[in-house]
Amino acid sequence: MAVHDVTEGRGKPLAGEIHEVDARGEICPYPLVMVQKVMRQLKGGERLRVKVDYPKSSEDIPRWAEEVGHRVLGIQKTGEVEWEISLEKKDDGDA
């Protein structure tokens, strides 16, 4: 299954092995679940950009990523209640 299929059209690959999940409009736990599904399909070193508009998700997703060993490349507030989280999949494992 392609990465962009797991979120029913809401996750899509971008240029240069950067993938994107648009979880705006979703509340916990769905943004994290969407990110976990996509991260399982990525190869080590591939990157994921996540867009969220639920404040708790802007905290929970980076916390989960660090706990399982992925790199949090950045968290940027892009609107009054919107964030963009950049992650990089760890080289080993399949969290």
As annotated, the active-site residues are 28
Q: How far apart (Å, rounded) are the C-alpha atoms in residues 58 and 20?
A: 15
Phi (first) and psi of residue 71, to 5 degrees: -95, 135
Residue 66 tokens, joined: 């660090």
Strand pairing report for 47-52 and 11-14: unpaired
